Amino acid sequence: MRRFGAPRLVVSRFKTLKSLRQAGTDTSDGSIREVAKMSWPIIVGMLSYTVMGVADTLFVGWIGTSELAAVGLATTAILLLNALFMGTLHGSKVLCSQATGRGCPEEAKRFGWAGVYLALPFGLIVAALAFFGAPIFSLMGGPAEVQALAQDYFWVAAAGSIFWYVAMAICNYFQGIGNTRTPMMISVLANVLNIALDPLLIFGLGPIPAMGVGGAALATVIAQAAGMVVAAVIFMRQVGLIRMPKWRQAVDKVVDLGLPMGIRNALGVGAFTAFTALLARMGEDQLAAHQIALKVMSISFLPGQGLSETVTILIGQYFGAGRFEAARRAFKSTLLIALGLMGTCGVVFFAFGEQLVRVFNSDASVVYLGSKLLLVAAFYQVFDAIAIVATGALNGTGDTKFTMWMGVGSAWLVLLPASYLFAFTLEGGAVGAWLGMTVQLIVLAAVTLLRFTRSDWQGAAQRADVKRLAPA
């Protein structure tokens, strides 16, 4: 008799949840105003991160083109190493948002702590990889001088990764429960500190020696450590230590939902690393122009990513509460904001591309190539906005395996072949490679948008409820 009790209990609980959902009303309607209210702190935090990256690039660019290319190469390698763990930790954000939508704050706290538990070993693994800079950059290619400088940046940044991971895990919890202002303040504080330390550690002052690109990395690590301390203090005050008799179950759920996002990130960044390696073999000017164009383009990409995080949170909460129409409205509102924001940035790239590149480097060849890359970026802003928002929305529903397959497939089966075709076969150089990136974004935008608009949300919610309520 006992073995039939568990399914009946699940069905009984599911019927209760279903009746509560049907009885509820949409007091929060997924309007543009609601999306803007939640998203602006995330966007400000993303913009502060952009400003930090732009400051690093600006200061290092004043040293020379080789140093600028080295930071670009090292940054790409760090993103590759962090991508799997970053994406996996995002699983806690989705679970916290869905628990908040169900009205279960204690459950959200457990998932927040599960993210912190995972952040510690993740950070230590990346720190251990700091000793393998030489073989990593040998595989990536590029001039020997650029590789040596990239190692100086890489080992410092990788060694301090644990600070960033812990702070990110805590911020995932706050964002998941709808508190987007606390992560914003932490991010702004850390990035302001980084910008203040950059000139001191890069160029030196008084007893402080000039450290060059290594100084830029050290400034970032110090800022991340300060951000982690502030985040931990706030987290302990608001959440505190909680008893987690089933902490492994919470960790397993974070990994189960987050690992596909981590795989998508890792293989996507891996493809982008191969993409950067193609550019590195074209020469310093091509790689430097690519790095500058990426920093300028981040003015639109990171706010767009902030909107993607917003739609993940909102749809996760609505999905957990069974308010599917509000979730669809939130998606449409977020998409409209993203199209307006990123479309405006595209106009700026088109009109002032040369002036924007010249801020970072005055070399005529770099300025010419960089301005051409920004023309390509201006064209694909609309497709980028659709792909970013649709992917975030699908993650909010828990459809992370689909976004994994699409992200990996579009990166390796579209981005790299198309970039090689345009860059080498058709001799388009860096501009041709960026045209290949445009093709990838068009494909990704079309498929993810179609998937979101045709998803069976109610069926997915029922399956999620049964899985969540089933006895261990």
> What residue segments make up the domains of the chain, in order of their start?
25-469
Asked if the model's pLDDT at residue 3 lies above 50, the reply is no
| Angle between helices 133-140 and 144-159 in degrees, nearest 10 | 130
Share of the chain above pLDDT 70, in %: 88
CA distances 180 to 43, 100, 117, 174, 446, Å, are 10, 14, 22, 6, 29
For residue 235, what pLDDT is reported?
A: 94
For residue 464, what pLDDT is reported?
A: 54
For residue 227, what pLDDT is reported?
A: 92
> How many Cβ atoms sit within 10 Å of the Cβ of residue 190?
28
Distance CA 362, CA 62 (A): 10
For residue 93, what pLDDT is reported?
A: 92
pLDDT band per the 50, 70, 90 thresholds, residue 193: very high
b/e map 266-292, b = 16+ CB within 10 Å: bbbbbbbbbbbbbbbebbbbbbbbbbb
**36 vs 443 pLDDT, higher one:** 443
Asked if the model's pLDDT at residue 292 lies above 90, the reply is no
Asked if the model's pLDDT at residue 171 lies above 80, the reply is yes
pLDDT, tens digit, 9 for 90 and up, residues 194-244:
888 988 888 887 778 878 888 888 888 999 999 999 999 999 998 887 776
Using CA atoms in the order 438, 265, 144, 364, what is the torsion angle rounded to 10 degrees? 30
pLDDT, tens digit, 9 for 90 and up, residues 295-328:
788 777 878 888 999 999 999 989 888 888 888 8
Number of Cα atoms under 13 Å in the Cβ half of residue 88: 24
Distance CA 364, CA 402 (A): 44
pLDDT band per the 50, 70, 90 thresholds, residue 458: low
Reading the block at residue 57, the tokens are 């690039």
CB 73 within 8 A of CB 293: no
Q: What is the pTM of this model?
A: 0.77
Q: How much is the average pLDDT of 273-278?
A: 79
Count H helices, E strands: the chain? 17, 0
Please provide the average confidence, as pLDDT, over all residues in the chain: 82
For residue 1, what pLDDT is reported?
A: 36
Q: How much is the average pLDDT of 383-400?
A: 92
Q: How much is the average pLDDT of 13-34?
A: 53
pLDDT, tens digit, 9 for 90 and up, residues 24-70:
444 457 788 888 888 889 888 877 776 776 677 778 877 777 777 78
